[in-house]
Amino acid sequence: MGHLKHRDTGDIVADLREVITRAAALLGRPPWGQLYQDLIGEAQHNPEVAAALNERFIQPQAADTLARLKRAKEQGQLAPDFDLDLAFELLSGPLYFRLLITQEPLTPAHIDRVLHAIFAGMGPQPLSACP
């Protein structure tokens, strides 16, 4: 999943949009989406699969995303009281909800709506990158 690492262009919204779009594209094509769904399903009742999934995929991606959010906060792109952990959960939720529950596509328009909902008003000034 190295291709899902965050760049730091100085625009947190654009950088998150890029990674979420790449993740959605990866999980939207065979065999990756179905394999990931199956792994998550198996992890619900198999602690070894859950641990391996967490160690191999979930934690590295979470750490990378949280590090990128932290850099954005340090650069003044986010408000000083911006909750990084909550932002990560809010960013991850729509991906998992659509992948596992509704199986609706995670479109670029939906990704933009999610980013806008999370970041509008949370920066030190309004973010012009939010549609």
The per-residue pLDDT for range 33-75, each reduced to its tens digit, is: 899 999 999 999 999 999 999 999 999 999 999 999 999 999 9
Q: In which band, very low, low, confident or very high, does the pLDDT at 1 lie, cut at 50, 70 and 90?
A: very low
**Is residue 120 within 8 Å of 26, Cβ to Cβ?**
no
Rounded-to-integer distance, Cα 23 and Cα 47, Å? 25
The pTM of this model reads: 0.83
What percentage of the chain reaches a pLDDT higher than 90? 65
Q: Which residue in this structure is represented by tokens 């959960």?
A: 89
